[in-house]
Amino acid sequence: MTLAVAEGAKLTLHFALRLRDGSVVDSNFDGKPAQLVVGDGNLLPGFERPLIGMTAGQRETFVIAPEQGFGQSNPNNVQTFPRHTFAADMDLAEGLVVSFADAQKAELPGVITAFDQDQVTVDFNHPLAGKDILFEVQILSVEAA
């Protein structure tokens, strides 16, 4: 009997995440397959849902909308800081990822989107926020919980 993917199942799979323009965000097709347990919280529910019912050997590509993936970009997550709050010798560049500490002292990465001599604009949205993700998956094995 062929086991189908269900809550609690242990999966071994290859996957690729791509943007609509075809650029690859992440892929393990050329490497070691990933293992996960469906519903254990390590994969966003929007990425788990399409896997339900698949069986070993199946290969599919799903479109994950922002609401099911990394959320919409939130303009409130873009902050402007005075330039002097950054080290004077820091080489700022658009696209540079800078780590900050939040109120609980947890690491919070942000991407510099603009800067001048007076201020620095940092985007704390997830880099994939607001984007459709093409989720290609090949199920290699499905084991019961």
pLDDT in tens, 46-66: 999 999 999 999 999 999 999
The CATH class of 75-123 is mainly beta
Give me the pLDDT at residue 39, please.
94
CB-based contact 126:108 (threshold 8 Å): no
- The residue ranges of every structural domain in the chain are 10-70+128-143, 75-123
Give me the pLDDT at residue 104, please.
87
- What is the spatial distance between Cα 58 and Cα 72, in angstroms, rounded to a whole number? 30
Q: Is a pLDDT exceeding 70 seen at residue 67? A: yes
Cα end-to-end distance, the chain, whole Å: 16
Mean pLDDT of the chain: 94
Give me the pLDDT at residue 103, please.
82
Band (pLDDT 50/70/90 cuts) for residue 1 is low
Band (pLDDT 50/70/90 cuts) for residue 101 is confident
Whose CA is closest to 134, among 47, 70, 64?
64
Give me the pLDDT at residue 138, please.
98
Lowest mean pLDDT among 47-51, 80-84, 90-94, 100-104: 100-104
Which sign, positive or negative, has the C-alpha torsion 9, 142, 64, 72?
positive
- What is the spatial distance between Cα 38 and Cα 43, in angstroms, rounded to a whole number? 8
* pTM reported for the whole predicted model: 0.79
Cβ neighbours of residue 96 under 8 Å, at least 6 residues apart? 111, 112
Task: Domain 10-70+128-143: give its CATH architecture.
Answer: Roll (3.10)
Whose CA is closest to 61, among 25, 92, 100, 15?
15
